Amino acid sequence: MSDPADDLIPSVFARDCASRGVLTNVTGKWGGLALAALHDGSYRFNALRRRVDGVSEKMLAQTLQALERDGLVRREVQATIPPRVEYSLTPLGARAAAKLKELIDLLEGEIGQVRAARAEYDRDHAAGVR
């Protein structure tokens, strides 16, 4: 985006383009999984944390905040004790999540192929053959 003319054409390939930033959030380790979970329906904070195995409260809170700021996730607060916060996808978030879900389904569906590739790669590189 150093070329002013490029400002008019968003490109994730350009470091400073806003689309790079949102792509980084959407496809971040936890962002993608949060969006994919929310694709199945809205979640409260701890339910979402239980759904996405391995994410810490800190990383989840941070991720949801970024996604909310990007306009992909909606955060609705009820002033109850204990607090009750519900996360759901905005229309744009739903569109992004649908694309992510397709990618995820593909990778899950072809995991056998990936495993075979990894085994072959590790065999070929065990003796530093390269």
Cα gap 57→67, rounded to integer Å: 15
- Which of a second copy, DNA, none lies near 61, with the C-beta cut-off 5 to 8 A by kind? DNA
Distance between alpha carbon 122 and the CA centroid of its chain, in Å?
Answer: 28
Phi/psi for 10 (5° steps) reads: -60, 140
Touching DNA, residues 3-62 (CB under 7 A)? 28-30, 44-47, 55-59, 61-62
Nearest distance from residue 42's CB to a second copy, in Å? 16
Q: Which residues contact 125 (CB under 8 A, 6 or more apart)?
A: none
- Which of a second copy, DNA, none lies near 118, with the C-beta cut-off 5 to 8 A by kind? a second copy
Size of the site for a second copy (CB under 8 A): 53
Q: Contact, 22 vs 12, CB < 8 A? A: no
Answer yes or no whether residue 102 interacts with a second copy by CB under 8 A: yes
Sheet holding 84-89, edge to edge: 43-44, 84-89, 73-78
Answer yes or no whether residue 47 interacts with a second copy by CB under 8 A: no
Instruction: Return residues touching DNA (CB under 7 A).
Output: 28-30, 44-47, 55-59, 61-62, 64-65, 75, 81-86
